[in-house]
Chains A and B, each alone.
Chain A
Amino acid sequence: MNMLMQREMEGDVASGFGDKAVSYMLFGIISILLTWVLGPKVTGVFDINSMNQLVSIMCLLITVSSMSSKLEEDHANRQLSFLQTLPVSKRQIVHVKFQHLLLNGCLMFVWLSVVTSVNLFISKSWTLESWIQVWGFTVYRNNGPASLFLERLSGP
C-alpha cells in the first residue's frame, strides 16, 4: 500500500517536472504580456482580493492539471492494467488513487492558505472575513457565498 502511494506521489514531483516548468513559465509570460497590453487594472494585480483570486484559480488549475496528467500518463502506459497484475486487490488500487487525489486537494488547500495569508499580511489587510473570502473564491465582497455565510454569522 505504501509503495502504491509512493508511486502516485512520485509523479507529482519528479516525472514530467520539466514539462510542467515549461507550461507554468509559458502561462506566467502570457499573464505578464496580457497585463502589459491591457493594463494592470484588468488583471487586478493592485487589488488584494483580485490578486488572491488569481492565485487561487492558478493553484486550482495547476492541481487539476497535475492530477489529470498523472491519470493520462497512467492510461498511456497501461499502468492500471499493470497494477492489477500485481498481488494487490483492486479495492486497494482504487483506494490509493482516491487517497492521492485527496492528498493533492489538501496540499492545494495548505499551499493556497499560506500564499494568500502571506499576501494579506504583507498588504496589512488580514481579516478573518478577507481570508474566508478567498476560500469562497469570491471576488465581489457582498455577493459571494462566504460573505453570505459571514452575514449569517454576524446576525442582522
Chain B
Amino acid sequence: MNNHDERTLLEVNGLTKSYLDFQLRDVNIQVPAGTIMGFLGRNGAGKSTMMKAIMDLIKRDEGDIRVLGMSMPEEEVAVKEQVGYVGDTPLLNNAWTMERTLSFARHFYPNWDQEAVDRNLERFQVPFDKKISELSKGMKVKASLILAMAHQPKLLLLDEPTSGLDPVVRTEVLELLLDFVQDESRGVLFSSHITSDVEKIADWVTVINDGEILFSEDKESLLDRYRRIVIPGNGGGKAVETPLLFNCQSTMGGYVGYTDRFDRFQKVASGKWRSERLTLEELFVLLTGRKGE
C-alpha cells in the first residue's frame, strides 16, 4: 500500500482465472474515484467472474487486486469495510425480513449509517417487515443496494443490477448510483449488457469479450474516437482504401466504414464523406462482433 494513487479506488492487474470451458485472461483495469465505470460484455464474457474474483468469492489463478491501495485477499476485512457488493442474483436470505437482514449486517460495519438506510428505505419504499422471499425482483435489487450502501462504502461493485428490471426501477437504481458518486471520493464499477444504462450514467467504459478486455477508457473520448464514415456515390474508393477504416461495406448509395482514429482520418481523407457518431450500443456490437470474425 505504498505507491498507491489516492484517486484510484480499484486496481486489477494481470487477473487470470481458468475454468474448463472459459478463461479470464490478463485483465487490467483501474477505477478512479468520482467515476462510474460501466463494465460491458456479452453473456458469459467474464463480467461476473471478474466481479467475484475482486470480492474473493472465487479463487483467482494469477493477478493482483488492490482496493484503496489494500491488497485482496490479504487485507480482505479492511477492504470489505470499504466495498459494497451486489451480485448478479441477490444474496439475501429469503427466510429473513429486511429488518432482520439489516440488523444482522450492521454489526459488521463500524461505519454503518442508519440515517442513510432509513432514507433509502423510504425512497425505495422497501417493506421492512416482509420476508425477502415475498419481495419482487425489483424490490430485492433495491434491498440489496440499500444493504450494499448502508456502510457508506467508497467503492460499489454491482454485477448486472438492472438486468430483468422494468424501466422505472432501472431509472431509480441509476439515479441512486448518480447520487452515490456526488461524493467525489467514491466510485462504482457497474457491469451490464444493457448498453443504454451504461451510456446514461457511466463516465468510463470497459468492454470485455471472451475473457479479454478490449478497451477501458473515458466514454466521451471513446465515442469521439470511433465514427461511422459514409462515403456517398462511387468516388469514395480512395478513402475506403485507407487502413484507418475497417468493416467497409458498399451500400446502395456508396460506402460505409468505421474508424477508430477519427482525428487522423479527418486529416488524411479526401473527397466527399460524412461522419456519424455511434451510440454505445452500436459500438459495442461493432467491436464484440468484429472480434469474433
Contacts and interface: CB of A to CB of B under 8 A. Distances in A.
B108 interface: yes
B286 interface: no
Interface residues on B, range: 20 to 34
B57 A84 contact: yes
B158 to A, nearest CB: 12
Given A84-B56, A84-B57, A87-B78, A78 B105 contact: no
A8 to B, nearest CB: 12
Contacts of B55: 84-85
Contact of A78 (B56, B73, B76, B89): B89
Interface in A78-96: 78-79, 81-82, 84-90
Contacts of B77: 87-89
Contacts of A85: 55, 57, 80, 85, 87, 91
A77 B91 CA distance: 7
Given A73-B95, A77-B93, A87 B80 contact: yes
Contacts of A141: none
Interface string B65-77: 0000000010011
A81 B95 contact: no
A36 to B, nearest CB: 37
Contacts of A81: 57, 87, 91
Given A81-B57, A81-B87, A88 B108 contact: yes
B134 to A, nearest CB: 14
A84 B53 CA distance: 12
B94 interface: yes
B22 interface: no
Interface residues on A, range: 10 to 19
A90 to B, nearest CB: 8
A3 B107 contact: yes
Interface string A34-77: 00000000000000000000000000000000000000010011
A117 to B, nearest CB: 36
A31 interface: no
B78 A78 contact: no
Interface in B153-191: none
A87 B150 CA distance: 13
Contacts of A82: 91-93
A16 to B, nearest CB: 8
B19 interface: no
A146 to B, nearest CB: 41
A79 B93 CA distance: 7
B57 A86 contact: no
B53 to A, nearest CB: 12
Contacts of B78: 87
B91 A78 contact: yes
B215 interface: no
Interface string B45-62: 000000000011100000
Nearest to A6: B104
A81 B87 CA distance: 9
Closest 3 CB pairs of A and B: A82-B91, A87-B80, A87-B81
Given A3-B108, A73-B95, A85-B91, 11 more contacts: A3-B104, A3-B107, A15-B95, A16-B95, A78-B89, A79-B91, A81-B57, A85-B85, A87-B78, A87-B109, A90-B76
26 contacts: A3-B108, A7-B104, A16-B95, A73-B95, A77-B94, A78-B87, A78-B91, A79-B91, A79-B93, A81-B87, A81-B91, A82-B91, A82-B92, A85-B55, A85-B80, A85-B85, A85-B87, A86-B80, A86-B108, A87-B77, A87-B79, A87-B80, A87-B108, A88-B77, A89-B76, A90-B56
